[in-house]
Amino acid sequence: MPYLYYHNPQLLHKIEENLYVLSAKDGDSRFMPVYFLIPTSGQSYSRRLCEKIFPLPEYFTHSADLYLHLHALVHADIYFVDRSLGFYRKYSYSDNESHRSDVVWHERRIGFYLYSIRALERTFGGQAARLVNTVENDLRLMGIPLTRMKGQYRTALKHFWEYKTPGPFLFRMSKISHALFYLIAPPRIYGKVRSFYFSFRMRNLVMFIVRKYP
């Protein structure tokens, strides 16, 4: 829940104390054109919804939960509890953390995103258009470090200028700064700074500022 509030708080609809809903249906005024990135271990799905989405494609060897998240957003409204119900541990040597300077890792990850949104287009057509556009926008952000690591600075700069992000002003500025840092920082330096940012205290300080001054 905190990530979503930080991302675009004005588009979450409050149902009751500590309970919010996000509807991804096009034309719904509550629609928030972002996908949720809460760890899969922090999510709960009804059997009825899972029967509509599973089995997941065998194509995925990583980030298979992305396919699940995106399809869930189109199939149903998503409810969020505004309090922590558990914790998960991040390791510096996990696949996500240890391969950020690896060109092949970035290519695979972009491939999984592309596969997911093409599947959405085939299954839902225009019903998923806004969600697909949002993911394609994030692909431009992901393309910045990939092309920069390949030495293709002109393409990386093109991705940067095409990148757009919704949400409150401070959030947009933080994402643009993130994209710019992607563009200019060596991969190892970027990884260290990113790890510091995602440390518990730093991240919560940023979220407090964005909530207080949206």
Between CA 3 and CA 66 the distance in angstroms is 16
Q: Is the pLDDT of residue 126 over 90?
A: no
Q: What is the mean pLDDT of residues 16-41?
A: 65
The count of structural domains within the chain is: 1
Which string of b and e fits 3-34 if b means at least 16 CB within 10 Å?
A: ebbbbbbebbeeeeeeebebbbeeeeeebbbb
5 against 41, higher pLDDT: 41
Q: Is the pLDDT of residue 160 over 90?
A: yes
Between CA 31 and CA 59 the distance in angstroms is 29
Alpha helix positions (H), the chain: 2-7, 47-53, 64-75, 95-98, 103-124, 129-149, 153-162, 169-184, 187-197, 200-212
For 26, the domain range is: 2-212
Global pTM value: 0.78
Average pLDDT, the chain: 78
Asked if the bond preceding 55 is cis, omega within 30° of 0, the reply is: yes
